[in-house]
A = this chain, B = another copy of it.
Amino acid sequence: MKFNIALLAGDGIGPEVIDQAVKVSDAVAKKFGHEITWKPALTGAAAIDAVGEPYPDETHEICASSDAVLFGAIGHPKFDNDPSAPVRPEQGLLKMRKKLGLFANVRPTFVFPSLLDKSPLKKERIEGTDLVFFRELTSGVYFGEKGRKDDGNTAYDTNVYTKEEVTRLARKGFEAAMQRSKKLCCVDKANVMETSRLWRETVQGMEKEYPEVEVSYEFVDAVAMRLVQWPKDYDVLITENLFGDVLTDEASVISGSMGLMPSASLGTSVSLFEPIHGSYPQAAGKNIANPMATVLSAAMMFENFGLTEEGKVIREAVNKALAEGVVTEDLAEGGKAYGTKEVGDWLAANI
C-alpha cells in the first residue's frame, strides 16, 4: 500500500522522537512492501515562532490531504505561565482537533511486566491492567460558548453535547468492547449535569444494538477513585472531553509506563497518532528522550489502517528492546542507557 503521512514533530523532544518513529515505520514499510511519503509540517510553538500561528492553514492542508498524521509533542515554557496570552500552542491543538474532526481520542493503558516496579501503585493492584479510554475530543466545554459579564467579574463556560456527538463516540467504544472483553463503562456526572444525562440516555439507547456488551454507568468522581484502587476492574471506558482529559491523565500513571503510552485520535476522514507525553523542553536536543511511546503510536497507526501484522512487529520489537535493556536513561535503572537515536536504530533493525 501507499501512504502519505503528515509529520508534525512540534516542540521540545518532539522532533527527536518523531525521527525514530519514522525510522521504524520505514523499516516496517520496507518489510511489508508499503510505500510511505512523509509530509513534514509546522505546529506548536515552532509554528508560532515561524509564522505566528500554532496550526497554520498550510499545515492543515497537509494533514487533511494525508492518510494519517503522526504527531510529536507541543508546548514551550515561554507560554506556560500565561494562559491568557493571545496565541498559545494549545489553541493550535484545539483548532487542529476541530478542523480535522478528531472526535475520538483513544488512550490505552496497559502494563509492561518488566516495568511494574515503576508504578506508584502496588504491583498486585496493577498486574494485568489493560484498559482503554475513548475520550470525546471535539466538543464539550472546550468548544462551547465562553466569556465574561459584569465588567469581567463574572466568567462562564458552556458545555454542550448533541446526541449525534455522543452516539459517534460511544459507537467507537462499543466496537472496541466487542473486540475485547465486551465490557463498557460510561463515565458521566448524570446526578448533576444535563449533558451527562444526555450521554447516559444515548448510551442506554444503544445497548440493544450490542446485546453482548455489558454496560455500566459510573460517576466521574467514583471512577477517579476506583481507577487508582482497582484499575483491573476496567476495560473500555467512554467519556466526554473534560472528564476524559482528567481521567486519561490520571490513568496514565497507573502502569508506571507513562513514557511508553501511545494514543490515537480518530477522525471522520484522517486520524492522528501521538505519544501521550509532553514536549519536555529540558530534555530537548540531548538525545535522551524515550522514543518508544511515539514508536508505539506508529504501531497504532498501522493497526488503524487494518495492518495488524505491521503493528505487531513494532510491538514485538519494543518488547524485545525492553527485555534486552535497550532503553533510554528513564528506564535504565543504573544499567547502560542508550540514546534516543540508538534505541530508534535498534528498533528499526529489529523489525
Residues of A whose CB lies within 8 Å of any CB of B are 81, 83-84, 88, 90, 94, 120-122, 125, 141-142, 144, 146-148, 150, 153-164, 189-198, 200-201, 217, 220-222, 224-225, 227-230, 242-243, 245-247, 249-250, 252-254
A-B pairs with beta carbons under 8 Å apart, 27 shown: A83-B196, A90-B191, A120-B121, A121-B122, A121-B228, A141-B159, A141-B193, A146-B194, A146-B195, A147-B194, A148-B194, A150-B162, A153-B163, A153-B198, A154-B161, A155-B195, A156-B160, A157-B158, A157-B195, A158-B158, A189-B242, A222-B249, A224-B246, A225-B249, A225-B253, A227-B250, A229-B253
- Flag if A192 contacts B141 (CB, 8 Å): yes
- Flag if B159 contacts A192 (CB, 8 Å): no
Taking CB atoms, residues of chain B closer than 8 Å to A249 are: 221-222, 224-225
Determine the distance from Cα of A158 to Cα of B88 in the docked complex, in whole angstroms. 25
- Flag if B159 contacts A154 (CB, 8 Å): no
Taking CB atoms, residues of chain B closer than 8 Å to A227 are: 250
Determine the distance from Cα of A249 to Cα of B153 in the docked complex, in whole angstroms. 30
Determine the distance from Cα of A216 to Cα of B74 in the docked complex, in whole angstroms. 22
Taking CB atoms, residues of chain B closer than 8 Å to A84 are: 190, 197, 201
Determine the distance from Cα of A321 to Cα of B220 in the docked complex, in whole angstroms. 34
Taking CB atoms, residues of chain B closer than 8 Å to A162 are: 150, 153-154
Taking CB atoms, residues of chain B closer than 8 Å to A194 are: 146-148, 155-157
- Flag if B229 contacts A120 (CB, 8 Å): yes
What is the count of identical protomers in the complex?
Answer: 2
- Flag if B83 contacts A228 (CB, 8 Å): no
Taking CB atoms, residues of chain B closer than 8 Å to A200 are: 83
Determine the distance from Cα of A158 to Cα of B154 in the docked complex, in whole angstroms. 12
Determine the distance from Cα of A164 to Cα of B160 in the docked complex, in whole angstroms. 26
Taking CB atoms, residues of chain B closer than 8 Å to A164 are: 153
- Flag if B229 contacts A245 (CB, 8 Å): no
Determine the distance from Cα of A147 to Cα of B158 in the docked complex, in whole angstroms. 11
- Flag if A192 contacts B155 (CB, 8 Å): no
Determine the distance from Cα of A193 to Cα of B252 in the docked complex, in whole angstroms. 23
Instruction: Tell me how far the C-beta of A307 lies from the nearest C-beta in chain B, rounded to whole angstroms.
Output: 32
Taking CB atoms, residues of chain B closer than 8 Å to A195 are: 146, 155-157
Of B90, B142, B193, B217, the residue contacting A146 (CB under 8 A) is B193
Across the A-B interface, give the 5 residue pairs with the lowest CB-CB distance, nearest first: A83-B190, A155-B198, A146-B194, A224-B250, A221-B249
Instruction: Tell me how far the C-beta of A91 lies from the nearest C-beta in chain B, rounded to whole angstroms.
Output: 9
- Flag if A228 contacts B250 (CB, 8 Å): yes
- Flag if B150 contacts A90 (CB, 8 Å): no
Taking CB atoms, residues of chain B closer than 8 Å to A198 are: 148, 153-155
Taking CB atoms, residues of chain B closer than 8 Å to A225 are: 249-250, 252-253
